[in-house]
Amino acid sequence: MRKRVTMLTPLMIGAAALFMWSFIAAQTAPAKAPVAAPVEKKPAGKQEEAMTRAVPDEDTVRTEKPVESPSTLYVSGTAVSLRDIASTKGKKLYILQRGDELTTTGQRMKNEGIDWVQVAVRTKQGSFTGWVDLKYLSDKKVEGQLAFVKTLDLAPFAKTKGYANNKPVKTRGVYITVYSAGPQYIRRFFNMAESGQINTFVVDVKNVEGEILFKSKAAEKHFPAANKRVVYKSTPAFIAEARQKGIYLIARMTAFKDNYYALAYPDRGIMVPGTNELLRDRDKLVWVTPHDRHYWEYLIDLSLEAAELGFHEIQFDYVRFPDLNKEMDTRNALGESRPQAIQNFLKYAYERLSPKQIYVSADIFGLVPSVADDMAIGQYWESISNVVDYICPMMYPSHYATGFAALAVPDADPYKTIKQSATDSLRRNKRIPTPAIIRPWIQDFTAFWVKGHIPYGAKEVEDQIRALRELGIDEYLLWNPRNRYTPITIQK
């Protein structure tokens, strides 16, 4: 199960290096704040923060007079909560985005080990006054903090408009795990296709554990241990049947989250700084660094092998750095920025796969089109969209926090949530010369862990599709971690 569903928190926060402003204390010099990384929600667990008011703890310190400080501040984090009280348990009044301009009231409070600042903000939804964690604020405009943009290739990129032997398809697809692709389960997806509900299979060829679908020559060359746990010892029979029936086949290739590979080759893994210990994410899995070119060869050779077996497209998932709010040693010997490393990999993949008339796509966080930066994971909309055929934001309404699209519970209004995210995606595509086709992942599961969630059925799925089509986006992929999909009515 990929993190987009199993890892979910109310906030998704990404930031570059942040600086505290000068009024923290008259006796001390400004100090650099810790780096904040985006956090995904965990569908299987409870929300991290209860939406209840809390009494400040014993070390609370309140400023009795206005703080002498700049009256205007800027949000330097991503998806930062404005709360009604100076506590992480306070009610969220609004979700601030990187670059938002705030006015300080002059009040400051320390609670739960956090320096809180009271600010006011004017938005399209009204004016709000509340408390913000100081480390997510800056007295400088955020444009200067996007230095990584200078490292990116945003020039026109040579792409296909369609291959003669692999014509593009307006996809209506479902995700199929490496296990559901087995002979005993695959038939139900053929039934969906035969009923006209779908025309595309997105099949795990490599998952986050590092397990692969079929016995592979690429694995034998680069990582022989991967061949010890495969579903098919030879070419999966469903590939030929799907092609014969006109079903479009996408090979889902998890990129840098590969537990087996990183454990086998720890010198290529992301490490805990200053140690020989591999960094583990919230799933307790380890990652390969996106900077490692040896691993690139394994991914691309496995992708080419999938293409030879009959897949029409390679879709890279987890094509990013871990979303952890901690320092990490990424083995960056080349001195690449994170967005640069991700873009360089996708450019290389395109150069290797396109001569074989295979399309290339990339999955990204659903919040990426709505924020200004790369969320500290290397996913900057323009740098990815510019170099792939399809860009696939994971627009699950359950993944958005209070305030997105001016909604108290985005999960409870799938139409408005998708409409806002898709609008942001289209806006970002206008900024680059060779944008990818937008093909979102949408939600076909009930997010029971979200406070205020609603059950998802045919109406909720169709509302998401309707929101996309109203904006001219006529492709989508359905995600359900259990691969149990809702029968829907397809509007022609």
Over the stretch 374-419, which tens digit does the pLDDT of each residue have? 999 999 999 999 999 999 999 999 999 988 999 999 999 999 999 9
Q: What is the CA radius of gyration of the chain?
A: 23
Residue 23: which pLDDT band, with cuts at 50, 70 and 90?
very low
For residue 447, what pLDDT is reported? Answer: 97
Q: Is the pLDDT of residue 31 over 80?
A: no
Burial 301-335 (b: 16+ CB within 10 A, else e): bbbbbbbebbbbbbbbbbbbbbbbeeebbbbeeee
Helix ranges (DSSP H) in 388-483: 414-429, 458-470
Instruction: Please report which residue ranges of 55-184 form alpha helices under DSSP H.
Output: none
Q: What percent of the chain has pLDDT over 70?
A: 83
Q: Answer yes or no: are the C-beta atoms of 329 and 273 closer than 8 Å.
A: yes
**Nearest CA-CA partner of 451 in 47, 3, 45, 7:** 47
181 contacts 189 by C-beta, under 8 angstroms: no
For residue 442, give the H/E element and its range.
strand 441-443
Per DSSP, the three-state class of 459 is helix
Is the pLDDT reported for residue 24 higher than 50? no
Return the minimum-mean-pLDDT range out of 97-106, 175-184, 197-206, 398-407. Answer: 97-106
Mean pLDDT of the chain: 86
Q: Measured between alpha carbons, how far is 386 from 261 in angstroms, rounded to an integer? A: 29
Residues of the chain with CATH 3.20.20.80: 148-479
Q: Which residues contact residue 404 at a Cβ distance below 8 angstroms, ignoring those fewer than 6 apart? A: 95, 370, 410, 417, 420
The β-bridge relationship of strands 137-138 and 72-75 is antiparallel
- If you average pLDDT over residues 66-75, what whole number do you get? 67
Give the pLDDT band (50/70/90) at residue 12.
very low
Q: Which of 376, 378, 303 is nearest to 342 (CA)?
A: 378
Q: How far is CA 96 from the centre of its chain?
A: 18
| Nearest residue to 102 (alpha-carbon basis) of 84, 76, 79 | 76
Write out the CATH class of domain 148-479.
alpha beta
The per-residue pLDDT for 124 is: 66
The answer, yes or no, to whether residue 111 has pLDDT greater than 60, is yes
Burial class (CB in 10 A: 0-12, 13-18, 19+), 394: buried
**Distance in Å from the first CA to the final CA of the chain:** 32
> Which residue has 């779908």 as its token pair?
198
Residue 200: which H helix or E strand, with range?
strand 200-206
pLDDT of residue 326: 86
pLDDT tens digits, residue range 239-288?
Answer: 999 999 999 999 999 999 999 999 999 999 999 999 999 999 999 999 99
Closest-CA residue to 468 (of 434, 441, 430)? 441
pLDDT for res 142 = 57
What does the longest C-alpha to C-alpha distance in the chain come to?
A: 75
**DSSP element (H, E) containing 187:** helix 187-194
Is residue 290 very low, low, confident or very high in pLDDT (cuts 50, 70, 90)?
very high
Residue type at 1 in one-letter notation: M
What pLDDT is stored for residue 367 in this prediction? 95
The pTM for the full model equals 0.76
Q: Which of 104-118, 170-184, 408-422 has the lowest average pLDDT?
A: 104-118
Each residue's pLDDT tens digit, 445-459: 999 999 999 999 999
In this prediction, residue 66 carries a pLDDT of: 40
Whether 34 shows a pLDDT value over 80: the answer reads no
